[in-house]
Amino acid sequence: MEKASAALKNLFFPRRCPYCGQVMGFAPGCECAPRVEECRLFGPSALLDGEGRRFAFLDGGAACYAYAGPIRQGVRRLKFEGACGLAAVYGREMAALAAQLEPGGPFDGVMPVPSTKKERRRRGYDVPLLLARALSGALAIPLWDDILIKEFETRRQHELPLAERKANLLGAFGLRGTAAVQGRRVLLCDDVATSGATLDECAKMLRAGGAASVWAVVFAATPRPGARKAGKGERRHGTE
């Protein structure tokens, strides 16, 4: 019975590749799975991650995948083509990875990297918030979506040279009350980390507000040109 209902469900709501969107099951399927590069760890505070990002305030974190190939395609579908249902799928993967981080105890709450009202209106939905919701559900921790806020619109980080990215974010984030984060272990989440400057700026605000530690989980991180490439399917654990 269970099998029959699963088959029916598959007929009407066929399982699709979470990256390219191709229907899976009967046809040979897509070539996405073997092409994804897994897990990149962000180093502890003031150290570098495998890609050369420097974090002054973030305690650590991880990305499920390198932002390339099928992962890049999937994120674009989520962000720019209205496939917002993917947030639940990606969020669950992020939760599995976040559960492996070691902040010295369970996270007290999860927080999306905030966007301004105008930015949300432009897209119609808020990707980091959708991811944070999935993380909150999967990890059974509170969703803190109204503490860290974005005060004003900034130029898009990925359109700026690396040297200008930190300055672009200066003062962009603010805290609405600090009581909720004081002494807490905060998990930040976002879809993609490029330079890591946005995550670090958010972590700076949260640390100033008294957070005990701030970690981040992102679905994908941009590989830096010339950085050591993690092998296909290679998972790195622990901090380096």
- Position 32 contacts Zn ion (CB under 5 A): yes
Cα-based angle 16, 87, 144 (whole degrees, multiple of 5) = 160
**In terms of Cα–Cα distance, which of 101, 83, 76, 72 is closest to 217?**
101
- Position 173 contacts Zn ion (CB under 5 A): no
The site for Zn ion, by CB under 5 A, has a size of: 5
Alpha carbon distance 109, 185 (integer Å) = 7
Q: Are 110 and 141 in contact (CB under 8 A)?
A: yes
Our CB check for Zn ion shows the closer of 4 and 27 to be 27
H/E stretch holding 84 reads none
Closest distance of CB 24 from Zn ion, Å: 8
Closest distance of CB 57 from Zn ion, Å: 36
Closest distance of CB 71 from Zn ion, Å: 10
- Position 202 contacts Zn ion (CB under 5 A): no
- Position 20 contacts Zn ion (CB under 5 A): yes
Site stretch for Zn ion (CB under 5 A), options 27-35, 99-107, 127-135, 215-223: 27-35
Site stretch for Zn ion (CB under 5 A), options 28-36, 84-92, 95-103, 224-232: 28-36
Our CB check for Zn ion shows the closer of 71 and 186 to be 71
- Residues contacting 100, CB < 8 A, separation 6+: 62, 237
Closest distance of CB 32 from Zn ion, Å: 3
Site stretch for Zn ion (CB under 5 A), options 8-16, 31-39, 76-84, 190-198: 31-39
Q: Are 55 and 196 in contact (CB under 8 A)?
A: yes
For 148-215, give the DSSP string: EEE-S----GGGS-HHHHHHHHTT-EEES-STTTTT-EEEEEEEEESSSHHHHHHHHHHHHTT-SEEE
- Position 30 contacts Zn ion (CB under 5 A): yes
- Position 17 contacts Zn ion (CB under 5 A): yes
- Position 89 contacts Zn ion (CB under 5 A): no
Closest distance of CB 118 from Zn ion, Å: 33
Closest distance of CB 167 from Zn ion, Å: 38
Q: Are 191 and 115 in contact (CB under 8 A)?
A: no
Alpha carbon distance 237, 39 (integer Å) = 9
Among 1, 7, 14, 19, binds Zn ion (CB under 5 A): 19
Start-to-end CA distance of the chain, whole Å, equals 49
Q: Using CB under 5 A, list all residues that contact Zn ion.
A: 17, 19-20, 30, 32
